[in-house]
């Protein structure tokens, strides 16, 4: 329900990932549904990485501003982590220099994300959306249905044991 409510108020061609009652990734206004699914999935993955022990254990300097802390976390979990871990920079942000959050550690943590819900404002035209959604822990999907390729989408959901409900409600704005 949270994803569908969120989608009602987003720009058309949107998907929304939800976990534990909160929207964790929204992809809106892209030219294709798969681009929305990828964009929202990357945001959902980023949210999940922020819940990791490596991030929750970061020791920030006293009186760091929230925006600076949040920015440092995003850089730390991203590909440009060296920007916050280089000498002279980490001391401005952290009390102690954190270890690198390795690619392997990130992959292992991301694999633990489960029971994510995905809503779409219109039908998924191809199974590639489901393939991408699975990478971000999606186990439940709500979408209007009505694609001439619904059988392919259902087949991919079945392949991953993803429950999908056709809502019959199109939230697309045009």
171 pLDDT band, cuts 50/70/90, is confident
Is pLDDT at 174 greater than 70 in this prediction?
Answer: no
* Homologous superfamily of domain range 2-48+114-166: AICAR transformylase, duplication domain (3.40.140.20)
**Which range has the worst mean pLDDT, 43-52, 88-97, 111-120, 164-173?**
164-173
Contacts of 149 (CB under 8 A, 6+ apart): 125, 126, 127
The CATH number for 53-100, chosen from 1.25.40, 1.20.120, 2.60.40, 1.10.287, is 1.10.287
pLDDT at 84: 97
Phi, psi of 114 (to 5 degrees): -135, 170
Q: Where are the domains positioned within the chain?
A: 2-48+114-166, 53-100
Contacts of 139 (CB under 8 A, 6+ apart): 114, 115, 116, 117, 161, 162, 163
pLDDT single digits (tens) 34-90: 999 999 999 999 999 999 999 999 999 999 999 999 999 999 999 999 999 999 999
pLDDT single digits (tens) 19-34: 999 999 999 988 899 9
Fold: same for 2-48+114-166 and 53-100: no
Is the alpha carbon torsion for 82, 85, 86, 88 positive or negative? positive
Distance between CA atoms of residues 38 and 46, nearest Å = 12
- pTM of this structure: 0.93
Phi, psi of 61 (to 5 degrees): -65, 155
Among the listed residues 164, 78, 86, the one whose alpha carbon sits nearest the alpha carbon of residue 118: 164
């Amino acid at each position: 329900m949270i994803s569908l409510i969120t989608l009602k108020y987003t720009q058309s061609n949107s998907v929304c990932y939800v976990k534990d009652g909160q929207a964790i990734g929204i992809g809106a206004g892209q030219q294709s549904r798969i681009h929305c699914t990828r964009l929202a999935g990357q945001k959902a993955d980023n949210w999940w990485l922020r819940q990791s022990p490596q991030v929750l254990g970061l020791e920030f300097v006293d009186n760091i501003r929230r925006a600076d802390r949040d920015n440092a976390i995003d850089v730390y979990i991203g590909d440009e982590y060296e920007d916050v871990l280089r000498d002279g920079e980490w001391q401005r942000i952290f009390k102690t220099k954190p270890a690198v959050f390795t690619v392997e550690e990130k992959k292992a943590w991301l694999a633990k994300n489960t029971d994510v819900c995905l809503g779409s404002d219109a039908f998924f035209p191809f199974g590639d959306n489901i393939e991408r959604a699975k990478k971000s822990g999606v186990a439940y999907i709500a979408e209007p249905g009505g694609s001439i390729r619904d059988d392919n989408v259902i087949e991919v959901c079945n392949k991953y044991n993803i429950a999908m409900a056709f809502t019959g409600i199109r939230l697309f704005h045009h």
